[in-house]
Structure 1
Amino acid sequence: MTGGDEPPGDVFGHHDFTRFWVAETVSGFGSYVTTMALQVLVVLSLHGSAGDVGLLNAARWTPYLLLGLVVGSLVERRRRRPVLVVTDLARAVLLLSIPVLWMVDDLSLPTLLVVMVVFGTMSLLNDAASQSFLPRLVPGPSLLAANARLDQSSSVAQTSGPVVAGGLVTAIGAPAAVLVDAVSYLVSALATASIRTPEPTPVPDGTPRHLRREIGEGLRWIYRHRMLAPVVLSTHGWFLCNSIVTTVFVPFALLRLGLSPFELGVAFAAAGVGGLLGSSVSTRVGMRWGAGGTVIACRAVMPLAWAVIVIAPVQNHGHASVLALVLAGGGQFLIGLAMGVENANEMAYQQAITPDELQGRMNTTRRSLNRAMIVIGAPLGGLLADAVGYRPVMVVAIVGFTLVAGGLAASPFRHARHGDSQGLVGLQERLGGG
């Protein structure tokens, strides 16, 4: 597919993709409920600080830092559908334990952190299998459209999930609200189990498999690739900045702006509206501007969006002003818009130029190091906010977003276009001869 080609037809013609889409959509909705509910739980129910919110975020992503490179290689040795089903069921059980522990008055921050570490391990396995499974369900030219469809449903979940979470937290409390996500993972497991696309069982070819060598091949593929390396490194920086500022945002909104949990949900929902709009036009924008130009432009929007939030006025007599809610929601809308346009283009480009035998390692290596940035940035942002205040830390993140966008714009990735074939050329050379 060249930059001037029309995008492929509707991917819902692939029935197994539809089942996969249902699984991702339902679990995504539940995840947006839980993401907000857990942060509110730490701040209001467990009376935690911004540093505690940072520890919560770090706990969920620590397995990516510790195990990510290994998991990418191990998943490639297994059929991916069973991994998806088992990890969905495990995550449902883990989330169910949170309201149960709360009911017996045994839920504390350390206990919650342990639950989230195990939950993160299951998510790591699921992510590695999920992103490597998609290219088996749709042909290569349809990957951009498939990722756009997934982003659209994710944006709808992002729009409705926080509002539902705010209402549930207000009505039944944050711990009980987590039950919604537990149910969503059960539905996701059933939908995934119904997929019938045959998967080849990995069969040893007689050549000894060395885990360290396989990890090295994945690293070399990403960080020696002329196009992949700049965008992946830039994304690492983006995740560091984003983890800092998103950790600070929830306590900033609740304690400084004076937003209620429901108003916070409305602000987060604005990001979903922006994401839905962005993902709806992501295919057309990507075909017109190219993958590189689209991703760079979206990253340039991020510092502007957070600047809108930073200037929101603090609460007056214990209540948020209308202007504070408008600015918080407006900034979140811009964030969602940028991410909605960017994600499908970035993911489709990376999946399209990576061979099937490297999909698991490419996806997991990239995601693992991205999440490693969260493990570093989330507690750092929280501790700095407790020490020097919310706004100064958010300004530092805004500067970081600006540098990330500028660095990517100066790299060869600015010329990346959908349909590039260079990713498949010289595979053995790029892997150092295997």
Structure 2
Amino acid sequence: MPSAPPPVRLWHDRDFRKLWAGQTASQVGEHAGRVVLPLVAVVALDAGADQVGVLRAVEQAPILLFSLLAGVWVDRWRTRTVMVLADVGRAALLAAITLSAVLGLLGMPLLLVAAFAIGVFTVFFDVAYHASLVRLVRRDQLMQANSALESSRSAAQIGGPALGGALVSLLSASTAALASAALFAVSALSLRGIRRREPVPGHGEHPTRIRREIVDGLRFVAGSPSLRAVGLASAAYQFCFAALMTVYLLFLVRTLELPGAVVGLVLAAMGPGAVLGSLLSAGLPRRFGYGVVLVSSAALADVALMCVPAVRGSGLAPVLLLMGINVVFGACSQVVNIITAVVRQAVTPVRMQGRVVATINFVGMGLMPFGSLCGGYLGEHWGLRPSLLVAAVGLALSPLVLALSPLARLGRSLPVAPEPGQGVPGPGGRNR
């Protein structure tokens, strides 16, 4: 009997390369937009801290409003279709911002509407691309595939803010939005090139109602000790990080008086750190165990950000110090992102990947709008340095949650997803 052909290696898989390229372009566009849109408000519309907080909250509000619905749709549709439509929608909206500025129609109300719509498309893209990986690669390739995608996100963190900040300085904030629009268009074209017919999990002869599927996803996450801890830690982190980043941008521009290009360079420094984190995540868990690496990386990332409020002065020294802080933060955060993503994918059946991603996004990232509003309020009434310190100290809640959870006891092997009809797996792969 002839032997089966050897499995295709990850980077020899044309469809995975298409996914990787499309996701990379989309992430660069997204990270550039995260710098460009607030700078449009600050530079072109002279917005204050409270208005920047509202803008960020409006852009993040769809996470809370649409994540659970996006999870159901992704579990019913092909992820490639969802990602392409999301990219096309974001490209059109960013182009509309530039057009409205040229026509003299751009103002805060229009910018808020565009930011909200961009946020909706981003929610659907993020849920779809996380779910697509499990449908596209084998289980033994998950760690390598996640590292590759997170490395591309790291490249986006390098290129996106730097590109956005440089274009704002060289052209204008509103014109810089076209760069993100072009990148989303490139992403859509790449993702359309995926040839493999993606298996969509079935829902039986009579599909269940959307509400029932949403409840199933919530129950699955709530019933898994590992997923529940990821969700709670994410909630603490995302709330405080949203507050911090709202103030951070104003701190760089107005307190340290850095130009747009340098602001982009400082924020982009998280990217090289994230690349380093992607490399470390491939070997550290196998040597020390997933739990130890996860908790220690989360704690070190938060300690790094606590140093930001102490930065003073002008010139090259504070810029280099901020870049060093962001490199450490980027590396440790990347390790946390990859480990939690791999654990989530490992303990979740394929048919529920979309809903589990969406539920965790809803629980964690859904708090980002409130964090942004809180950061804007603190920055306006308490001052930028005290607000940065409060937000940075609050971030310590995330590693504390992880340290008290079953995730801290994870060893060198991953847990296993339950088969249909089985219970929810614990951190060691056994059913509860």
TM over 0.5: yes
**Matched letter for residue 268 of structure 2:** A
Q: Is the 8 A contact 2:32 2:180 kept in 1?
A: yes
Change (3 A) 1:422 1:133: closer
Q: Which runs of 5+ in 1 are unaligned?
A: 1-7, 315-319
**SS of equivalent residue, structure 2 residue 225:** coil
In the alignment, the residues of structure 2 paired with residue 416 and residue 9 of structure 1 have an alpha-carbon distance, to the nearest angstrom, of 30
1:24-52: CA deviations, max 9, x gaps?
11111222222111122211221111222
Shift of 1:428: 4.7
Change (3 A) 1:160 1:71: closer
Change (3 A) 1:425 1:290: farther
In the alignment, the residues of structure 2 paired with residue 208 and residue 179 of structure 1 have an alpha-carbon distance, to the nearest angstrom, of 41
Change (3 A) 1:274 1:202: closer
Q: Which runs of 5+ in 2 are unaligned?
A: 1-6, 426-432
Shift of 1:422: 4.4
Tell me the equivalent position of 1:186. 185
**SS of equivalent residue, structure 1 residue 292:** helix
1:314-350: CA deviations, max 9, x gaps?
5xxxxx3333212221221121111222212211111
Q: Is the 8 A contact 2:287 2:412 kept in 1?
A: no
**SS of equivalent residue, structure 1 residue 235:** helix
1:354-404: CA deviations, max 9, x gaps?
001110100111112322111110011111110011122222122212232
Shift of 1:93: 0.5
Change (3 A) 1:427 1:56: farther
Tell me the equivalent position of 1:42. 41
Shift of 1:81: 1.5
Shift of 1:237: 0.5
Q: Is the 8 A contact 2:232 2:364 kept in 1?
A: no
User: Alignment identity in percent?
Assistant: 31
Tell me the equivalent position of 1:317. none
Tell me the equivalent position of 1:115. 114
Change (3 A) 1:430 1:154: closer
In the alignment, the residues of structure 1 paired with residue 378 and residue 201 of structure 2 have an alpha-carbon distance, to the nearest angstrom, of 47
1:283-334: CA deviations, max 9, x gaps?
11222233322221121012221122110115xxxxx333321222122112
In the alignment, the residues of structure 2 paired with residue 425 and residue 205 of structure 1 have an alpha-carbon distance, to the nearest angstrom, of 17
Shift of 1:240: 0.7
Q: RMSD of the alignment, in Å? A: 2.0
The answer to which of 322-331 and 242-251 deviates more is 322-331
Q: After the TM superposition, which residues 387-426 of structure 1 pair with which residues of structure 2 at under 5 Å, given as runs?
A: 387-417=381-411, 419-424=413-418
In the alignment, the residues of structure 2 paired with residue 335 and residue 346 of structure 1 have an alpha-carbon distance, to the nearest angstrom, of 16
In the alignment, the residues of structure 2 paired with residue 418 and residue 103 of structure 1 have an alpha-carbon distance, to the nearest angstrom, of 56
Shift of 1:232: 1.7
Tell me the equivalent position of 2:79. 80
Shift of 1:246: 0.8
**Matched letter for residue 114 of structure 1:** V
Shift of 1:427: 5.3
Q: Is the 8 A contact 1:64 1:124 kept in 2?
A: yes
TM-score by length of 2: 0.92
Change (3 A) 1:277 1:202: closer
Change (3 A) 1:428 1:183: same
In the alignment, the residues of structure 2 paired with residue 183 and residue 238 of structure 1 have an alpha-carbon distance, to the nearest angstrom, of 31
**SS of equivalent residue, structure 1 residue 227:** helix
In the alignment, the residues of structure 2 paired with residue 430 and residue 164 of structure 1 have an alpha-carbon distance, to the nearest angstrom, of 44
Tell me the equivalent position of 2:429. none
**Matched letter for residue 315 of structure 2:** S
**SS of equivalent residue, structure 2 residue 393:** helix
In the alignment, the residues of structure 1 paired with residue 319 and residue 421 of structure 2 have an alpha-carbon distance, to the nearest angstrom, of 51
Q: Is the 8 A contact 1:220 1:430 kept in 2?
A: no
The answer to which of 172-181 and 197-206 deviates more is 197-206
Aligned residues: 419
**Matched letter for residue 31 of structure 1:** E
Q: After the TM superposition, which residues 134-145 of structure 1 pair with which residues of structure 2 at under 5 Å, given as runs?
A: 134-145=133-144
**SS of equivalent residue, structure 1 residue 28:** helix
Shift of 1:423: 3.5
In the alignment, the residues of structure 1 paired with residue 216 and residue 417 of structure 2 have an alpha-carbon distance, to the nearest angstrom, of 14
The answer to which of 184-193 and 54-63 deviates more is 54-63
Change (3 A) 1:175 1:415: same
**Matched letter for residue 391 of structure 1:** R
Tell me the equivalent position of 2:430. none
Matched, 1:229 2:217: no
Tell me the equivalent position of 1:285. 284
Change (3 A) 1:173 1:427: farther
In the alignment, the residues of structure 1 paired with residue 279 and residue 167 of structure 2 have an alpha-carbon distance, to the nearest angstrom, of 29
Change (3 A) 1:208 1:426: closer
Change (3 A) 1:383 1:9: farther
Change (3 A) 1:161 1:128: closer
The answer to which of 285-294 and 138-147 deviates more is 285-294
TM-score by length of 1: 0.92
In the alignment, the residues of structure 2 paired with residue 172 and residue 423 of structure 1 have an alpha-carbon distance, to the nearest angstrom, of 50
Shift of 1:111: 0.8
Q: Is the 8 A contact 2:60 2:368 kept in 1?
A: yes
Shift of 1:188: 0.8
Shift of 1:195: 0.4
**Matched letter for residue 355 of structure 1:** P
Q: Is the 8 A contact 2:288 2:412 kept in 1?
A: no
In the alignment, the residues of structure 2 paired with residue 182 and residue 70 of structure 1 have an alpha-carbon distance, to the nearest angstrom, of 25
Q: After the TM superposition, which residues 159-308 of structure 1 pair with which residues of structure 2 at under 5 Å, given as runs?
A: 159-201=158-200, 203-308=202-307
Matched, 1:383 2:377: yes
Shift of 1:417: 4.2
Q: Is the 8 A contact 1:159 1:269 kept in 2?
A: yes
**SS of equivalent residue, structure 1 residue 424:** coil
The answer to which of 15-24 and 344-353 deviates more is 344-353
Tell me the equivalent position of 1:347. 341
